[in-house]
Amino acid sequence: MLDALQHLGRATLDFFERLGRGHLLLLQMLAKLPGLLLRPGLVLVQLYSVGVLTLVIILVSGMFVGMVLGLQGYNTLVDFGAEDSLGVVVALSLVRELGPVVSALLFAGRAGSALTAEIGLMKATEQLSGMEMMAVDPVQRVIAPRFLAAFLSMPLLAAIFSAVGIYGGYLVGVPLLGVDDGAFWGQMQGAVDLHDDIYNGVIKSIVFGFVAGWIALFEGYDATPTAAGVSRATTRTVVHTALAVLGLDFVLTALMFGD
């Protein structure tokens, strides 16, 4: 009985300790961001490994998601004789939801897990403590550039995903299924609002980039410095980022489009 109580207490305390360490790391990262202006090269290399290398999967999945939306949307809309609205369906679902959310999930799988594994291994092989010994701040040198890179790449990746997806939907809808070209773009332009839809989509992806970067780096920084610990941390990154992104997406959608 007491043992069970002790376990419960231990688990609760562990949870809050992790939460606290996570926020401390976030504060440290944010405090170190201005210092990065002096070393833009560090961010550049991370932008390459976090952003550029994620580009291929984003382009391919964006294209396929757009094409599937085109097909499915057409099959439903044609029953109501409303296939001219295909552009609206494809563009709104991509810009508002699928673009930010799916690219954040792909980002967690492709870039977030790599970040966690990298930082976790650095910790396991005592590179981070080695840096501290040499009076180099690992948060400044290793963590903050990666955070900034994740934060910057996410909106760009989501925008690329949406744009490619819209062209994917166009390819399926217009040349293949015979939707009118003018109606596709014209109805889309009539229904998609720059402020309500596109800005809000970008805001979503910025939030997701922030959260995905934070979770990935914290899991790596906080990993148990063993092979098993790093593997657990990598799994946790993907799972927690996916949960956080989907949960936050609901909250953001309710705030933005709720009324």
Partner 1 sequence: MNNRTVEIGVGLFVALGIAALFMLAMQASNLSTMSGGDGYIITAGFENVGGLKERSAVTVSGVRVGRVESIDYDHTSFEAVVSLRIDAQHDSFPVDTSASIYTSGLLGEQYVALEPGGALENLVAGDRLQLTQSALVMEQVIGQFLYSTAAGKSEQ
Work out whether 129 is an interface residue with partner 1 (CB under 8 A): no
223 Rama class: left (phi>0) / alpha (psi -120 to 50) / beta: beta
Contact at 8 Å (CB) between 118 and 220? yes
Q: Is the dihedral of CA 172, 177, 178, 180 positive or negative?
A: negative
- Check binding of 241 to partner 1 (CB under 8 A): no
Cβ of residue 1: shortest distance to partner 1, in angstroms? 58
Which one among 188, 211, 238, 244 touches partner 1, defined by CB under 8 A?
A: 188
> Cβ of residue 185: shortest distance to partner 1, in angstroms?
7
Cβ contacts of residue 34 below 8 Å, gap of 6+?
none
Per rule CB under 8 A, count of chain residues that contact partner 1:
31
Angle of helix 99-107 relative to helix 200-221, nearest 10 degrees, comes to: 20
Q: How far apart are CA 232 and CA 10, in angstroms?
A: 20
Which one of 162, 200, 234, 241 is in contact with partner 1 (CB under 8 A)?
Answer: 162
Site for partner 1 in 43-72 (CB under 8 A): 44-45, 47-48, 51-52, 55
DSSP letters spanning 98-126: IHHHHHHHHHIIIIIHHHHHHHHHHHHTT
Task: For residue 62, give the nearest of 203, 158, 184, 177 by alpha carbon.
Answer: 158
Q: Which of 143, 159, 172, 242 binds partner 1 (CB under 8 A)?
A: 159
Give the DSSP letter of residue 57: H
Give min distance, CB of 53 to partner 1, in A.
8
Name which of 165 and 233 has its Cβ closer to partner 1. 165
Site for partner 1 in 23-42 (CB under 8 A): none
- Residue 164 or residue 238: which is nearer to partner 1 going by CB? 164
**C-beta closer to partner 1: residue 55 or 121:** 55
Positions that interact with partner 1 (CB under 8 A): 44-45, 47-48, 51-52, 55, 80, 82, 91, 95, 153, 155-157, 159-160, 162-164, 166, 185, 188-190, 192-194, 197-198, 202
